[in-house]
């Protein structure tokens, strides 16, 4: 955690040669602009302007200029760059030229959700669990559909050929001050998982957003392709982004149940933003991915899971890695807070399946879009422009 003056001192004393300023479009795709150290002081004061019309979801003709302002607390050294003349990055917040926060900044949307929770006395911690495939490249360096190994769930080397890659990923993250919880080979051939420790919601989202960059860079350095798509192979398990949540400052079981009830009530309406691609819907109900809108403290494979050894944790298992973690975290927090506000009753675990209910997740991107369009909950959380950008997305 750095402040502005500390960043400037670090840049001078540690021979920083290059600074990358990161931000994310409305789909959570990473963007960046680079500056030299001599511009850092002015950048903290004035920011850096970008062309909003060229960024997906930012293209408001009335505001073609946006300003990036780096968050000094996110300053991190890039370990894969030379230490002699190092490169650092910072994640930026987005502003209008008149100093107002940019409405479509997905980090801002999460920041607002966090503040809303704090106003009702709740500090929510979150953690992400990523599944992804490592694929071979061809002789031209292009992605193939060939997994790097044939290993299965928690297999060991030499069958698990990704062990060293996962080690490099975790050690790189650790050098960056991002501490992973565990890593292992998943069920699919070439499929891996890396899990994170709990952190504040904003810090956890920042870590999750950076994680994919680290994985892709590490894979590239090892002649591989990291595939985060939800179901790259029809005959192999899909890949999810399991999101864990817990309250840092309350043990009130009633509050927890109302929060869970809110997530279950609004999960269908928010699914478009948790699963924004057509391929996302090929994963539901297959290979242990959830389909029914249900919860359990007994089985790992339900939509909303309470881990056996951690009853204070709730894990949402429907999102996939193509979502924006900032929007996913914000929507889950907002849904839980709505459940508390409305004092919703939590259904019995397993009730959905026992009653042969049709209360299931959307089965297509088109259905998810229709639910989002009709949702007052989504309209109250997300700007119309972001909703419309997701609605118009055709893949």
Helix (H), strand (E), coil (C) string for the chain: CCCHHHHHHHHHHCCCCEEEEEEECCCCCEEEEEECHHHHHHHHHHCEEEEHHHCCCCCCCCCCEEEEEECHHHCEECCCCCCCCCEEEEEEEEECCCCCECCCCHHHHHHHHHHHHHHCCCCEEEEEEEEEEEEEECCCCCEEEEECCCCCCCCCCCCCCCHHHHHHHHHHHHHCCCCEEEEEECCCCCEEEEEECCEEHHHHHHHHHHHHHHHHHHHHHCCEEEECCCCCCCCCCCCCEEEEEEECCCCCHHHHHHHHHHHHHHHHHHHHHHCCCHHHHHCCCCCCCCCECCEECCCCCCCEECCCCCCCCEEECCCCCCCCHHHHHHHHHHHHHHHHHCCCCCCCCCHHHHCCCCCECCCCHHHHHHHHHCCHHHHHHCCHHHHHHHHHCCC
CB atoms within 10 A of CB 243: 24
Per residue in 167-222, pLDDT (tens digit) is 999 999 999 999 999 999 999 999 999 999 999 999 999 999 999 999 999 999 99
Mean pLDDT of the chain: 93
- Residue 350, pLDDT score: 76
Residue-wise pLDDT for 123-169, tens only, equals: 999 999 999 999 999 998 899 999 999 999 999 999 999 999 999 99
Q: At what angle do helices 384-392 and 365-373 cross, to 10 degrees?
A: 160
Average pLDDT on 366-381 reads 98
What percent of the chain has a predicted confidence (pLDDT) above 90?
85
pLDDT at 356 over 80: no
Residue in this structure with the two tokens 């309209």, named with its chain if needed: 379
Report how far residue 157's alpha carbon sits from residue 167's, in angstroms, rounded to the nearest whole number: 12
Question: Span 61-71, mean pLDDT?
Answer: 86
What is d(CA 259, CA 314) in angstroms, rounded to the nearest whole number?
10
Indicate the pLDDT class of residue 250, thresholds 50, 70 and 90. confident
Residues 238 and 301: their CA atoms lie apart, in Å, by: 13
269's tokens = 């309406």
Q: Is the pLDDT of residue 102 over 90?
A: yes
Give how far the C-alpha of residue 220 lies from the chain's centroid of Cα atoms, to the nearest Å.
21
328-343 pLDDT tens trace:
999 999 999 999 999 9
CB 165 within 8 A of CB 183: no
- The pLDDT value given to residue 300: 84
| CA distance linking residue 211 with residue 169, whole number of Å | 9
Provide the whole-model pTM: 0.95
pLDDT of 21 over the 70 cut: yes
Query: What would the mean pLDDT of 47-64 be, rounded to a whole number?
Result: 84
Predicted pLDDT at 352:
60
115 has pLDDT over 60: yes
pLDDT digits (tens, 9 = 90+) for 272-328: 999 999 999 999 999 889 999 999 998 888 999 999 889 999 999 999 999 999 999
> Does residue 267 have a pLDDT over 60?
yes
At 59 the pLDDT is: 76
**Tell me, what's the pLDDT at 298?**
86
Q: How confident is the model at residue 358 (pLDDT cuts 50, 70, 90)?
A: low
- For position 332, what pLDDT does the model report? 98
Task: Say yes or no to pLDDT of 248 above 90.
Answer: no
pLDDT band at 43 (very low <50, low <70, confident <90, very high): very high
Q: CA of 298: how far to CAs of 152, 251, 302, 308, in Å?
A: 24, 21, 9, 7
**Is residue 49 scored above 80 in pLDDT?**
yes
Lowest mean pLDDT among 15-19, 250-254, 355-359: 355-359
Q: Are 78 and 88 in contact (CB under 8 A)?
A: yes
- Across the range 13-39, mean pLDDT stands at 95
Is the pLDDT at 58 greater than 80, yes or no? yes
Cβ neighbors of 42 (< 8 A, separation 6 or more) are: none
- How many percent of the chain have pLDDT more than 70? 96
Say yes or no to pLDDT of 226 above 90.
yes
The Cα 301–Cα 42 span in angstroms is 51
Model confidence at 270: pLDDT above 60: yes
Looking at residues 47-63, what average pLDDT do you find? 84
Backbone angles phi and psi of 348, in degrees to 5: -65, 145
């Amino acid at each position: 955690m750095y402040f502005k003056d500390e960043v400037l001192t670090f840049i001078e004393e540690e021979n920083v040669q290059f600074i990358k300023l990161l931000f994310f479009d409305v789909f959570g795709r990473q963007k960046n602009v680079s500056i030299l150290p001599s511009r850092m002081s002015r950048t903290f004061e004035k920011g850096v302007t970008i062309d909003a019309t060229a960024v997906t979801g930012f293209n408001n003709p009335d505001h073609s200029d946006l300003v990036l302002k780096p968050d000094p607390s996110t300053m991190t050294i890039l370990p894969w760059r030379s230490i002699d003349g190092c490169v650092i990055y910072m994640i930026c917040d987005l502003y209008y030229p008149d100093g107002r926060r940019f409405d479509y900044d997905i980090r801002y949307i999460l920041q607002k959700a966090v503040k809303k929770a704090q106003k009702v006395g709740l500090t929510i911690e979150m953690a992400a669990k990523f599944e992804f495939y490592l694929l071979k490249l061809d002789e031209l360096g292009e992605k193939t559909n060939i997994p790097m190994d044939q290993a299965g769930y928690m297999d060991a080397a030499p069958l698990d050929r990704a062990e060293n890659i996962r080690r490099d990923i975790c050690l790189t993250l650790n050098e960056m001050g991002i501490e992973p919880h565990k890593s292992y080979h998943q069920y699919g051939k070439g499929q891996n998982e890396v899990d994170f420790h709990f952190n504040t919601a904003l810090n956890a989202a920042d870590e999750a957003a950076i994680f994919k960059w680290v994985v892709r860079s590490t894979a590239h350095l090892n002649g591989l392709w990291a595939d985060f798509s939800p179901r790259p192979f029809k005959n192999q398990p899909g890949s999810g982004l399991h999101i864990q949540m817990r309250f840092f400052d309350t043990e009130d079981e009633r509050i927890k149940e109302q929060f869970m009830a809110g997530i279950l009530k609004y999960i269908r309406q928010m699914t478009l933003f948790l699963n924004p691609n057509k391929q996302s819907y090929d994963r539901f109900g297959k290979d242990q991915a959830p389909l029914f809108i249900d919860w359990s403290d007994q089985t790992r494979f339900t939509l909303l899971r309470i881990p056996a050894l951690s009853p204070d944790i709730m894990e949402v298992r429907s999102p996939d890695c193509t979502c924006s973690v900032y929007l996913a975290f914000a929507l889950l927090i907002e849904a839980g807070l709505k459940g508390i506000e409305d004092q919703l009753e939590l259904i019995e675990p397993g009730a959905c399946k026992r009653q042969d209910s049709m209360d299931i997740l959307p089965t297509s991107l088109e259905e998810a879009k229709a639910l989002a369009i009709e949702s007052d909950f989504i309209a109250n959380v997300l700007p119309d422009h972001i909703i419309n950008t997701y609605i118009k997305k055709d893949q």
